[in-house]
Amino acid sequence: MKLFKSHKSVPSREPIRLLALHHGYFPRRFAWRGQNYAIDTVERAWTEVRSGGTVEGYRFRVRCAEGTFELLQEAASKRWYLIRGRAL
């Protein structure tokens, strides 16, 4: 299943619904555009910090059966977003 043509075709922050966490921190499952995605692996996790030291959010590069995705949790609102993705 092709999710999108390239990294550039995904809006900068498309809302997703987080369905489960692993160890209370890492995303485990999420829903996007009516489909649920089970995360097999968190390949990378990092904190996004604005100049001045304010934490903007937490990013996660995750691998699912459908492909690789980059997710963001905003620090202030706790909302989750899809930043980019690539279908396998």
Q: How many domains does the chain contain in total? A: 1
HEC secondary structure over 18-46: EEEEECCCEEEEEEECCEEEEEEEEEEEE
| Domain-located, residue 1 | no
| Domain-located, residue 2 | no
pLDDT in the model for residue 7: 41
Q: Tens of pLDDT along the chain (88 residues)? A: 444 444 444 457 899 999 999 998 999 999 999 999 999 999 999 999 988 899 999 999 999 999 999 999 999 999 999 998 765 5
CATH number of domain containing 76:
3.10.450
| Domain-located, residue 46 | yes
The whole domain housing 42 covers 7-87
Q: State the Cα–Cα distance between residues 25 and 82, nearest whole angstrom.
A: 17
Its pTM stands at 0.81
| Domain-located, residue 14 | yes
